[in-house]
Structure 1
Amino acid sequence: MTKSRPSWLKWLLLAALLIALALGVTRALNKRKAQQAQAQAAALATQKEPEFQLTSSDVVALQPQRLAQAVGVSGSIKAVQSALIKAKTPGEISGLSKREGETVAAGEILARIDSTEAKARVRQAEQQAAGAKAQLGIAQRAHENNQALVQKGFISATALETSSANLAAAQANHLAALAALDIARKSLGDTILRSPLAGQISARMVQNGERVGIDARIFEVLDLSAFELEAALAPADAAAIQPGQTAQLTVEGLEAPVSAEVSRINPNVQAGSRSVLVYLRVPTASGMRQGLFAQGQILTGEIEGLALPLSSVRNDKPQPYVQLVREGRVAHVTVSLNRQGVLKGEPMLLIDAGSSDLKAGDSLLRVTAGAIREGTPVALTQAAAQAAN
């Protein structure tokens, strides 16, 4: 018995070792199979196309609309009346007190130019006019005396003609002296610079004590009671524009849109750009300033047809296009931008039914959906599906 127990333990230990080895091999094989299954699932997931979820704000149904036909305009706002005050006589300037942004009245004195020389010329012209007047009096009396002497036969008619000619020359010299006096007084008046209109100072170019020459710019004054927009249009667009048509403008810095009216149209086509200038009268509003950029639409009539928001059109391809949902996937359809209109202030694009793949009821993606690759599957939420229908 003592000799058989070690043999039994030996076989028992060998069996336990074999069982442990078999369990380890089985566990390793199961773990490897699990890893392979996970890798296959990950590979399948990467091969599956991503599906976009669209909300109601991303989709709109293409429907017939009645649009206001419009022509787009843009440009800078300018004051209808402005004045550039220049020096009309040379000299040292003084009396400058107004600065940019300050209000001035029509006829208000804004500056003075040294008038010493101008006053001296006025005095000189006055003395010359007085001398010419005295000479005219002498010639007048001499002519009257000669007329009496001719009647009595003391002098000849030739002497009377000479006296008459001297009187005419004296009269001409007196008139010339008076004209020179008017010119001197005008030059003296030009030393005082006045504002020709009521408004605000927009620019001040010189300082007190500077010596300025003729036509030197001193002030620029703007009348902010009325503005206008100068817009350059293509001849094809300008053909539909008429004075009196209304426009809706968005002005830089102003929250509310501004109504405008076509006041006049330039009869010439600009030589370089081949464009037509159209002028829109813009009413004044709080915060309106010259130079602000404005853009908007001139309403020229009404059109009806399939329409979509102009903001939905994308331009990241050679041709403008819109994104649609068809058979659960995104489709790209090229559109033409020739016919545009306005619906409740929003720019719209009218679709030509005869030359486009779009039709009523198509589910159009708004700009908020972003750019999605063509053919990508999409899923509409219940609210989005109702909006599309």
Structure 2
Amino acid sequence: MNFKSRTHLFLALIVLLSLGGGTWYWQHQRAKAAPVKDVLVKVFQASEVTQAQLQALSGRIEMSGVLIASETATLRSKTAGTLLRLNVAEGQTVQKGQILAEVDVRDLSSRTEEREAALSSAQRAYQLSLSQHKANQDLSRQGFISETALASSQANLAANLAQLKAAESAAMAHSKQVADAAITAPFAGVVARRLVNAGEKISQEQEVLQLLNPARLEFKAMVDAAASQFLKPGLKMPVQFEGVSQAVMLRLDRMGPGNDAGSRALPVYLTLEQASLPPMLRPGLMGMAQYAYALSKEGLTLPITAVQEEGGKSIVWVIQEGVLKRQTVTTGMKDSQGQRIYILDGLKTTDAVLALRFEGLKEGTKVEVKR
């Protein structure tokens, strides 16, 4: 390679090195000049952050329920046969002792004369044997008949007496069976349901009608077992019924002795205070009863808006060292206004808590509170 060729090669290397160094320097300067991406900071106002307060709340119990008739009856047929007449319709008012339905008992009526004849025959046989026995007693005292004949007379009298009692019992049972063909109202009320129709074949003890007394109503509601400790018979509380403008004052009459398996609710029964029922109240009307009471025990409380339900758990959003954290808490009862709630576990008085519900919060988000 001559001198001229070596010179050209050297110059080419210098150019390549210059281009590479320039490219590196340009990229380095561009990287330095690129803006740094800001870290997201969530800003809250001081009014949106709170702390748990130690205080005693007034409690409130809400109980939803339905107005029911306390006096009801399911009327059954006491005899089998064809339902001859059904004299009432659903919703119809009936009086005590009124005949509501009748079963066809013509086959029973045809045997009435037979029962009466059997009873009459038994009565005559008994009277005859009684007269004969008295005569035999006189003859025995005079020595005209033996003791054996007198004993036979006594046995005949006893047999006829037994037959008479059997005939009387059969006649009474037959008369009752005939009388049972008529189904009567046990009290004044309203027909709630007709369970069969006229002309149908019915069996003995089959349900025919349901009757209720609308003048004797009570409000049946369910209350949480934990809240039932604050209730006792005699307490008065307002009940707001659907479609009724004003609340009706009721008195707690009694509480159920136990709850159903798998349920935390107990039945309670409230009765009307008024001597006469308001005309708008009727069985089946839904309502909500409320009772407010004072709680003497202090505890940590939060605004009800600070507590959220997620996956069956109660959670609050806590700010710790400038970062959002989802905190699971155990809640207690609400106050009577429904504004604050007891926090039984999971929170300290020093914890900063979001007082309101916000959408789209994520755990670990940096937070700034503007004072």
SS for the counterpart of 2:256 is: strand
Distance 1:309 1:106, change over 3 A: farther
CA distance in 1, matches of 2:354, 2:218: 43
- Residue type at the aligned position of 2:197: Q
TM-aligned CA deviation for residue 240 of structure 1:
6.4
The match for 1:146 among 136, 148, 163 is 136
- Residue type at the aligned position of 1:114: D
SS for the counterpart of 1:315 is: strand
Give identity over the alignment, percent.
23
The match for 1:111 among 76, 101, 106 is 101
The match for 1:165 among 130, 155, 167 is 155
CA distance in 1, matches of 2:210, 2:194: 7
Distance 1:232 1:318, change over 3 A: closer
Q: TM-score, normalised by structure 2?
A: 0.69
- Residue type at the aligned position of 1:319: K
The match for 1:280 among 269, 279, 295 is 269
**Are 1:97 and 2:97 matched, yes or no?**
no
CA distance in 1, matches of 2:103, 2:202: 9
* Cα pair 1:74 1:231 within 8 Å, conserved: yes
* Cα pair 1:93 1:209 within 8 Å, conserved: yes
Determine the structure 2 residue equivalent to 1:174: 164
Distance 1:326 1:244, change over 3 A: farther
Determine the structure 1 residue equivalent to 2:329: 335
The match for 1:373 among 347, 361, 370 is 361
- Structure 2: which 5+ residue stretches go unaligned? 1-36
Determine the structure 1 residue equivalent to 2:342: 350
- Residue type at the aligned position of 1:115: V
CA distance in 2, matches of 1:298, 1:173: 68
The match for 2:178 among 188, 191, 200 is 188
TM-aligned CA deviation for residue 97 of structure 1:
3.4
TM-aligned CA deviation for residue 78 of structure 1:
3.6
What is the aligned-residue RMSD (CA, Å)?
A: 4.5
**Are 1:315 and 2:309 matched, yes or no?**
yes
- The runs of at least 4 consecutive aligned structure 1 residues that moved more than 4 Å come to 47-55, 58-63, 72-77, 236-258, 274-277, 284-301, 306-312, 322-333, 358-363, 369-372, 374-380
Distance 1:153 1:376, change over 3 A: farther
The match for 1:265 among 250, 256, 269 is 256
TM-aligned CA deviation for residue 326 of structure 1:
10
Determine the structure 1 residue equivalent to 2:16: none
- Residue type at the aligned position of 1:261: L
**Are 1:227 and 2:218 matched, yes or no?**
yes
Number of equivalences: 327
- Residue type at the aligned position of 2:163: N
Determine the structure 2 residue equivalent to 1:18: none
CA offset digits 1:237-294 (Å, max 9, x no partner): 666665445566555555555545151432x665x43767533234366554545555
The match for 2:58 among 67, 71, 90 is 67
TM-aligned CA deviation for residue 207 of structure 1:
2.1
TM-aligned CA deviation for residue 227 of structure 1:
2.1
* Cα pair 1:323 1:333 within 8 Å, conserved: yes
CA distance in 1, matches of 2:325, 2:191: 58
Q: TM-score, normalised by structure 1?
A: 0.66
TM-aligned CA deviation for residue 323 of structure 1:
6.0
CA offset digits 1:198-231 (Å, max 9, x no partner): 2222211222222222222221112232224264
TM-aligned CA deviation for residue 113 of structure 1:
1.1
* Cα pair 2:50 2:354 within 8 Å, conserved: yes
CA distance in 2, matches of 1:200, 1:85: 13
